Amino acid sequence: MSKFIINGGQKLSGSIKIHSSKNAILPILAASILTEGDVEIYDVPMLDDIKIMVEILKYCGCRIGETNNNLTIKPNVVNNDINIEMVNKLRASVLLLGSMLSRCKKVVLGMPGGCNIGTRPIDLHIKGLTKLGAEIKLNQGYIEARAKKLKGEKVYLDFPSVGATENIMIAAVLAEGETIIENAATEPEVVCLANFLNSMGAKIYGAGTDTIRILGVDKLHSVSFIPIPDRIEAGTYMAMAAVCGGEIEITNVVIEHIRPIIAKFKECNIKVIEGENAIKVFSTDKIKPTDIKTLPYPGFPTDMQAPMMSMLTVAKGTSMVIETIFENRFLHVGELLKMGANIKLEGRVAIVEGVKRLTSAKLEAKDLRGGAALVIAALMADGTTEIEGIEHISRGYFELEKNILSLGGDIKRIV
């Protein structure tokens, strides 16, 4: 089993360039089969999750080439029975429901997987696609869906689910007539998907607001596209910068997308200087405690809850962290306790009492963002920390060790 060995306490300073967002690229890949034209996506960090989606598309019949982190897709589909293991490894594979229904009228899809951070139902996806005319049957371990014809409709989402908004948007683009998604997710990744589809000739209006209007078109054409930078990768390096003694410049960010994170950092007495597409974050040993409640965008992102909590373990006082999006997203807490953190869990609330320093321990990453939180904790802790389960972390952070080493950190991957 591979693991990280991290020698904590090194000062981190320098500059890091953020990669394109995994969570923006996955829906784009799923949606690429809506056209028969070529799809080029630039700046793709070839993370494990992205590799899995690429393999699934190849299994369906797409021809995909990769050079220098640019993907060229020839979106051919010959196989719409994708009840295969790869699908179970990825939450975003559920987005193939919308695109395959649109392209093939029928799909058999394995159950989506992803991080173990809650039950992660897909009822909102199913409700929305059913409204558009799909018949969906959930079998033991797989989904069967068909739609003679997809037709535009009004869909109200009980919760602004990112994935459900994306799935319905994907299915609606080539549907007949007008689709309106109400209480839609407003996350930047949703807007990025809409921009991608619009660059192919789709007619999507209002992405980024809670009402998205989609006018069905007959056909989509070829496209070349650069996805948005990863706001969670940026936030993770911000947390590292805050606790590791130096100052880090983080380039290739969209300030507006990380505004909710910057605001919390400033509240914690962390100096953040904003440039046009870059920020600089300065470390301090006087981190102020704060309260965090995860919320849909533009609230504080649930994906930043764990990295932020690592930072708050050494704040000067007591912070309260409330997780409202996923019910099982505190898997990192038990590991942080092993390092001497003082955290009390009560359901969806974590009370974090700041301690002076964390100490090294043997840890296990249990999910992607929780794993990143442990890397941050290990980088600031005294001594040498071992983190197992790092396959979770590799799903979402491209060239993490290379970046940390370039900043002056001491990290080794043992395979």
Among 34, 101, 124, 365, interactor with ligand UD1 by CB under 6 A: 124
Can you tell me the distance from the alpha carbon of 183 to that of 164, in angstroms, rounded to the nearest whole number? 11
Task: From 42, 412, 370, 409, select the one nearest 236 (Cα to Cα).
Answer: 370
Does position 302 bind ligand UD1 by CB under 6 A?
yes
Q: How far is CA 297 from CA 18, 123, 208, 309, 351, in A?
A: 20, 21, 9, 19, 23
Q: Residue 68: how many CB atoms within 10 A of its CB?
A: 7
Smallest separation, CB 393 to ligand UD1 (Å): 14
Which secondary-structure segment (H or E) carries 279?
strand 278-282
Smallest separation, CB 266 to ligand UD1 (Å): 22
Smallest separation, CB 97 to ligand UD1 (Å): 11
Smallest separation, CB 190 to ligand UD1 (Å): 9
The contacts of residue 259 (CB under 8 Å, 6+ apart) are: 298
Of residues 19 through 78, those in contact with ligand UD1 by CB under 6 A are 23, 26
Among 40, 55, 77, 91, interactor with ligand UD1 by CB under 6 A: 91
CA dihedral 248, 249, 253, 255 (to 10 degrees): 90
Can you tell me the distance from the alpha carbon of 132 to that of 248, in angstroms, rounded to the nearest whole number? 47
Which of residues 232 and 407 has its CB atom nearest to ligand UD1 in the complex? 232
Whether 244 is a known active-site residue: answer no
Which of residues 156 and 159 has its CB atom nearest to ligand UD1 in the complex? 159
Can you tell me the distance from the alpha carbon of 143 to that of 99, in angstroms, rounded to the nearest whole number? 14
Can you tell me the distance from the alpha carbon of 187 to that of 162, in angstroms, rounded to the nearest whole number? 7
Of residues 185 through 244, those in contact with ligand UD1 by CB under 6 A are 185, 189
Task: From 328, 327, 335, 345, select the one nearest 375 (Cα to Cα).
Answer: 335
Smallest separation, CB 297 to ligand UD1 (Å): 7
Smallest separation, CB 283 to ligand UD1 (Å): 27
Going by DSSP bridges, is the β-strand pair 70-74/63-67 parallel, antiparallel, or unpaired?
A: antiparallel
Catalytic pick among 115, 192, 244, 268: 115
User: Tokens at residue 191, please?
Assistant: 């807007």
Binding mask 152-191 for ligand UD1 (x = CB under 6 A): -------x-xxxx--------------------x---x--
What is the distance between the terminal CA atoms of the chain, rounded to a whole angstrom? 7
User: Tokens at residue 352, please?
Assistant: 């974090």
Smallest separation, CB 390 to ligand UD1 (Å): 18
Which of residues 92 and 238 has its CB atom nearest to ligand UD1 in the complex? 92
Among 169, 325, 341, 373, interactor with ligand UD1 by CB under 6 A: 325
Window contacting ligand UD1 (CB under 6 A); options: 114-122, 132-140, 191-199, 245-253: 114-122
Which of residues 292 and 361 has its CB atom nearest to ligand UD1 in the complex? 292
Which of residues 233 and 303 has its CB atom nearest to ligand UD1 in the complex? 303
Does position 330 bind ligand UD1 by CB under 6 A?
no
Among 125, 257, 264, 395, interactor with ligand UD1 by CB under 6 A: 125
Window contacting ligand UD1 (CB under 6 A); options: 80-88, 113-121, 274-282, 345-353: 113-121
| DSSP codes of every residue in 66-85 | EETTEEEEE------EE--H
Residue nearest to ligand UD1 (CB): 163
Q: How far is CA 247 from CA 187, 240, 280, 281, 408, in A?
A: 29, 10, 7, 6, 11
| DSSP codes of every residue in 159-170 | S--HHHHHHHHH
Smallest separation, CB 111 to ligand UD1 (Å): 13
Strands annotated E in 68-153: 70-74, 81-82, 106-110, 135-139, 142-146
Which of residues 118 and 245 has its CB atom nearest to ligand UD1 in the complex? 118
User: Tokens at residue 145, please?
Assistant: 């869906």
- CA triplet 104, 106, 112: central angle to 5 degrees? 105
Among 230, 247, 303, 367, interactor with ligand UD1 by CB under 6 A: 303
User: SS3 of 353, please?
Assistant: strand
Give how many residues touch ligand UD1 by CB under 6 A: 22
Among 58, 106, 120, 151, interactor with ligand UD1 by CB under 6 A: 120
| Catalytic residue list | 115
Q: Which residues bind to ligand UD1, rule: CB under 6 A?
A: 23, 26, 91-92, 118, 120-125, 159, 161-164, 185, 189, 302-303, 325-326
